[in-house]
Structure 1
């Protein structure tokens, strides 16, 4: 469980205000949740350009507008935080469950959806939610359901499959939950932080919400900062905060940075980079430092990602296995590994049954670009001389 020392705020605390409070204390901190209509939520989300706080960063207003006028079956909170390094959603579920529930329940009432389903794979998060529900009377059917913790199990369609009692893997067909979601009925599904932000937006209104952050997408965001830093944890910042500000605040070592986690991209330089969606993706900032072998770290993560495949399409089953072999050969100085890696990376994107192959290819492609000097050292056969310290974490 994330402790108090793991949470920090740059600027104004909103979703991290009033942690570890019971319902009465929560309401004293945030105030009562107003009763809003579906049109109110669409208007508010449009006014502030609110995007989902998962990896896709899809505009919330567009998702709401895609739902039919009647017959919405459920509001689903995706708490299956399957990215190994990310901790922001688990933090909210364990230490601010009432804020997440406010967002989900308020929206469910507005959509006239009879069910709120919360998918979690973390035991502490599930316990916290169930305890919070005992304090509330939301006049809805609210269930906390356990889901697997595998990487692809956090994908929206995999979560829906698990909630229906099926296997937690994304189906080959790409049908939006707003059209065919829970039990093939229209469903609003988003991740935990999105619902917490909706609860804040409903209370503050568009003007109050927009008093911080970017003009194009105001408000705050949660970032998980880890790796070669002295103060890892979850930080709430205004949207558009400079990356260097966050790195300095966390006490990061100089060196490359991975934005967005294992499906993200590497940056060689951080000057002038602003943290906003969709660039920051799932809200993960990983500092690599200079003491570990970059190529070894990347190969280690690639091997883990291969093991997380749903095993239902060629790009995952064969493509990721080939890439792991390519990078392993490259690490020991085989030039053919370098050539094969580039060839295979050009064949994978856009061909998978889910986003896992594309995300992995993006991660590895940017690694080859950013760590070219390190790659050249390995191709000499001598390597870079640095050990693999496991700075990227999460693959245990």
Structure 2
């Protein structure tokens, strides 16, 4: 179980600076980070271009391109997506609960530069929402800032689902895939990104591109937040330089030997981690889960797949029927039914690219890589030998 107290840093603390002493109120925030400079829209674009800043959600879209896609006038809102609904992820909740002013600085500074009249913060975690509201009472931003609580379902964190909730609709992604920069909040141009992106913007605005680039790698300067879990001695949220070797991170947190899930429940499994460096979009949502060797891999995968099926929006065939069929396929493989393996191969070829949102694609990616990495375990189960290991729930507390 990862808690918000498990905070560690490799190298220099930037986004997590000062959090070893607990939550930063406004005064301690200013003592730690200094005043937020007032920047223009063009200055934000140049800074983001100079360091190649990418969004810190799953898509890793270049922030400068997103800013440039907005019109010069008429930006309706800046939206902070804090709907971190995957049980394996904690980094955004950590920032909202312990460093809310850094996130607010990033969002307010950008809203002023874009001349957007609204800042909307979508949060599904009650403690994080309370922390934000307390932080707003300490500030005088003279801007319309609202904290909106959202459902904690997996697909409710998708950008278009967040916008629908903010407008009073259902927390599911619409079938049409329109960029928020074109038609976002109330169908008006909107800048939307996740919590860590805004914290990184606040750090970048203060440091400037040269100082910001003193850590990380030339292709992606700066730092990143990672949620580390599974079979490790020190689970929690870790700030590291971009481009750090995965093996360095695993050694630092005391990970057990065995396969690693990179990117969370929509990520992919790795059998070998040698030589892999952690950069976007490779690291995706910033989640690393070590499986260890004491649990049944197929049982763990099937358990997560069943949870993902239950998190479906229920609005298209690939989710309603495809994910249900895949859960059944993997359950059959686990009990030694060869037909489950053949059906899984067929269904994994039918699901991707056909859904109303990215949920079926991400689930299929997770399951496809599992069949590849756990090939030996699959063979043992199909030969009715089994792996002899229980399902320990290493990949997270799913309900």
TM-score of Structure 1 vs Structure 2, range by shorter chain: over 0.9
- 1:223 is paired with a residue whose SS is strand
Task: Calculate the aligned-residue CA RMSD, in Å.
Answer: 0.8
Aligned to 2:169: 166
- 1:266 is paired with a residue whose SS is strand
Aligned to 1:41: 44
User: Structure 2 unaligned runs (5+)?
Assistant: none
Q: Does 1:332 align with 2:331?
A: no
What is the CA deviation profile of residues 249-276 of structure 1, one whole-angstrom value per residue up to 9, with x for unaligned ones? 1111000000000000000011111111
Q: 1:324-363 residue pairs with structure 2 within 5 A?
A: 324-363=327-366
Q: 1:374-385 residue pairs with structure 2 within 5 A?
A: 374-385=377-388
| Structure 1 CA distance for aligned equivalents of residues 236 and 249 of structure 2 | 11
User: Structure 1 unaligned runs (5+)?
Assistant: none
Give the CA deviation at 1:18: 2.0
What is the CA deviation profile of residues 213-268 of structure 1, one whole-angstrom value per residue up to 9, with x for unaligned ones? 01111000000000000110000000011111111111110000000000000000
After superposing the two structures, state which structure 1 stretch, 381-390 or 142-151, moved more.
Answer: 381-390
Aligned to 1:14: 14
Is contact 2:4-2:90 (8 Å) kept? no
What is the CA deviation profile of residues 109-138 of structure 1, one whole-angstrom value per residue up to 9, with x for unaligned ones? 000000000000101100000000001011
Aligned to 2:243: 240
Taking structure 2 as the reference length, the TM-score comes to: 0.98
| Structure 1 CA distance for aligned equivalents of residues 67 and 322 of structure 2 | 36
Question: Which residue, out of 248, 252, 277, partners 1:249?
Answer: 252
Give the CA deviation at 1:139: 1.1
Give the CA deviation at 1:2: 3.5
| Structure 1 CA distance for aligned equivalents of residues 3 and 256 of structure 2 | 22
Question: Which residue, out of 192, 197, 219, partners 2:222?
Answer: 219
Give the CA deviation at 1:25: 1.6
Aligned to 1:100: 103
Aligned to 2:324: 321
| Structure 1 CA distance for aligned equivalents of residues 392 and 26 of structure 2 | 43
- 1:317 is paired with a residue whose SS is helix
Q: 1:129-208 residue pairs with structure 2 within 5 A?
A: 129-208=132-211
Q: Does 1:127 align with 2:127?
A: no
Give the CA deviation at 1:332: 0.6
| Structure 2 CA distance for aligned equivalents of residues 326 and 163 of structure 1 | 37
| Structure 1 CA distance for aligned equivalents of residues 25 and 238 of structure 2 | 22
Q: Does 1:80 align with 2:83?
A: yes
Aligned to 1:259: 262
Number of aligned residue pairs: 395
| Structure 2 CA distance for aligned equivalents of residues 2 and 127 of structure 1 | 17
| Structure 2 CA distance for aligned equivalents of residues 200 and 51 of structure 1 | 14
- 1:247 is paired with a residue whose SS is helix
| Structure 2 CA distance for aligned equivalents of residues 156 and 352 of structure 1 | 16
Taking structure 1 as the reference length, the TM-score comes to: 0.99
CA gap of 1:318–1:272, structure 2 versus 1, over 3 A, is same
| Structure 2 CA distance for aligned equivalents of residues 345 and 16 of structure 1 | 40
| Structure 1 segments (4+ residues) deviating >2 Å | 1-4
Give the CA deviation at 1:3: 4.2
| Structure 1 CA distance for aligned equivalents of residues 397 and 140 of structure 2 | 37
Q: 1:244-323 residue pairs with structure 2 within 5 A?
A: 244-323=247-326
Q: Does 1:394 align with 2:387?
A: no
